[in-house]
Structure 1
Amino acid sequence: MKKQQTLTAYLLIGIGVFFLLQQLNIPILSNFYSWQTIIILIGLVLLIHSYVTKSYQNLFTGTVILGLGIHFYGIAYYSFWIDHWAMYLLIVGIAFIIRYLHTKEGIIPGLLLIVFAIIMLFSIQLPVWFNWIYIVVEYLERFWPVILIVLGLYLLKRKK
């Protein structure tokens, strides 16, 4: 119960600091008064809570939320930021790797997602012998809802 109270305390402190800074209206921080900053803040709180309490169940979630917040912030405020669907795979892959560093689980999915994301990010410059990737990606883009449904049903029916 104490660990849950610390998570709530960190969230309240972080959101309180965010709104206090917003009320102070410091000019140098004007770009940070956005919903993306709140997402970044929630991700940071989950990561800080995981490290302080040494219970790493929120490590993956915190990394994903922090990564999404940074990505959305970058899209909104930086013209050079990459706005490609493979960025989401990259964020999840990084989250798997960070979780692996503390729990020793998830290295293979993390590496696969990162490699696939990097290939897709640079897919415009792929050599001719990688044309099969375009076909696979086209099918994935067309049938991803069905893939998610089948994966969900598999996870429900899988015996532990």
Structure 2
Amino acid sequence: MKNQRIFPAIILLGFGLFFFLQQNQYSFFQGFDTWPTFLIIVGIAYLFQGYVAKDYEAILPGVILTGFGLHFHIIKYLEVWPNSNGTFILIIALGFLLRYQKVRAGLFQGILFLVLAILLLFYNKIVDWLGILESGAGDFWRFWPVVLVVYGLYLLIKKR
């Protein structure tokens, strides 16, 4: 990592503030003294490392950790927030797309995860809209995860 001071500094600041607020039992901190807050702190440290120290490879783990931590907090307070696998895939897609802005690599993965997230988040609406359950194409929808596995294996085995 470039500029090694930023990441540990943010970790120490975040954890110190976390334990200080927990120890003094501030009422506004109630509900946030859980493990998702640790994900957010570490994720923010990675984001600072990525954007402030210009270590752009840290953007992806920063977005993923911060996003997952926020997700686990938000689902407790907002009923409209989707609690499905698509939400996690969407956060990963956002990470790849934000990283792409800086390093110009990972656009394909970002778009692939974005499409997958949209399919997972709106699966029932897409199926209803296309009327797939009545047609023979319903078999594809049942086995589309196999396509992902096969393509992933292809990428692992393919020689560059």
Q: Tell me if both proteins adopt one fold, taking TM over 0.5 as the criterion.
A: yes
Give per-residue Cα distances to partners, 1:91-139, cap 9 Å, x unaligned. Answer: 1111111001111111222123213312331222221355577544432
Which runs of structure 2 are paired with 1:9-158 in the superposition (5 Å)?
Answer: 9-126=9-126, 127-131=129-133, 135-140=139-144, 143=146, 147=149, 151=152, 154-155=155-156, 157-158=157-158
**Corresponding pairs, count:** 156
> Is the Cα–Cα contact under 8 Å of residues 60 and 95 in structure 2 kept in the other structure?
yes
Cα RMSD after superposing both structures: 2.7
Query: What do the CA deviations read for 1:2-59 (whole angstroms, capped 9, x no partner)?
Result: 7334322221221111111111211112121111111111111110111111111111
Separation in 2 of the partners of 1:6 and 1:110? 27
CA distance in structure 2 between the aligned counterparts of 1:85 and 1:136, rounded to whole angstroms: 19
Structure 1 residues 72, 107: CA separation in 2 closer, same or farther (over 3 Å shift)? same
Shift of the 21–91 alpha-carbon distance from structure 1 to 2, 3 Å rule, reads same
Aligned position for 2:4: 4
CA distance in structure 2 between the aligned counterparts of 1:113 and 1:133, rounded to whole angstroms: 22
Equivalent residue of 1:61, what SS? helix
| Residue identity (%) | 29
Give the AA of the match of 1:48. Answer: F
- What is the alpha-carbon distance in structure 2 between the residues aligned to residue 56 and residue 95 of structure 1? 11
Instruction: Give 1:67's aligned amino acid.
Output: G
Is the partner of 2:79 in helix, strand or coil? coil
Q: Gaps spanning 5+ residues in structure 1: where? A: none
1:128 maps to a residue whose letter is L
Question: How many Å separate the matches in 2 of 1:87 and 1:46?
Answer: 21
Structure 2: tracts of 5 or more residues without a match: none
Distance 1:91 1:12, change over 3 A: same
